[in-house]
Amino acid sequence: MAVTKTPTTALNAVTTTQTSSAVDISAVDAATAYVKIVQVGTATTAATWTLQISPDASAYYNVGPFAADLPAGSYYWEVSIPSDAKGVKIDFTQQVGGTSSTITAQIGTYLKT
């Protein structure tokens, strides 16, 4: 049995506070969120992101928030998504203080074929 991995970009180099569109993961066997925040300048409140998971592609429940540290730098997360989830979103909140932050988030899906 082969496994096919497919990445879907939820947010790509986003610099403003926002929530991604829903990513449909109802037809896959497993999924993982891969998130990178690049924070420029020392923040007084770090940039954050929250994984929103839906069991029915309608109501979304929060996992997180996950926060970068205050110093400038690149921060990475890899978060497994429950196999019974039907949809996911990524919610991003820009840092306060410093210069700015950028988020890139992908949802990696795995399908047994």
pLDDT at 2: 77
pLDDT at 1: 65
CATH number at residue 15: 2.60.120.200
Nearest-angstrom CA–CA distance, 66 and 92: 10
Do the domain assignments include residue 79? yes
Parent domain of 66: 3-106
Sign of the Cα torsion 79, 30, 101, 97 reads negative
Do the domain assignments include residue 111? no
Strands lying side by side in the sheet with 100-112: 3-14, 100-112, 30-40, 73-81
Looking at the chain, how many residues does it have?
113
pLDDT 10s digits, 29-83? 999 999 999 999 999 999 999 999 999 989 999 999 999 999 999 999 999 999 9
CB 109 within 8 A of CB 5: yes
pLDDT at 76: 97
pLDDT at 111: 86
pLDDT at 26: 92
Do the domain assignments include residue 113? no
Do the domain assignments include residue 112? no
Do the domain assignments include residue 30? yes
